[in-house]
Amino acid sequence: MRRIAMVILWPSFLVAALAEGFFFSLLDPNDIQLGGMHLPLQPLAAYTLGFLMFWLFCALACMLSYYLANVPADREPPL
């Protein structure tokens, strides 16, 4: 079970770090708005929440890839 968790979490962690770096190099955390309202977040809190969201979405994508790679092949129906 630990191996499966690491196969899913480690690549998603690396991709989340790259995605956060790219995202916040284009967007200032002080300019983030949600529904037209300014979010009163410190920059460190915005970076942390952004990283956790990227990690969550990347982990979900990795879990789906792992599941699809390990699903048994469909059997042909008997004649």
Domain boundaries of the chain, sorted by first residue: 43-68
51 pLDDT tier (thresholds 50, 70, 90): very high
**Would you place residue 52 in the very low, low, confident or very high pLDDT band (cuts 50, 70, 90)?**
very high
Cα 57 to Cα 29: distance, rounded to the nearest angstrom:
20
**pLDDT confidence bin for 53, thresholds 50/70/90:** very high
Contact 9, 58 (CB under 8 A): no
E runs forming strands in the chain: 33-34, 37-38
pTM: 0.80
38 phi/psi in degrees, rounded to 5 = -70, 130
Q: Tell whether the model's pLDDT for residue 74 goes beyond 80.
A: no
State the Cα–Cα distance between residues 28 and 36, nearest whole angstrom.
16
As a whole number, mean pLDDT of residues 48-66 equals 95
Q: Lowest-confidence range among 17-21, 40-44, 75-79?
A: 75-79
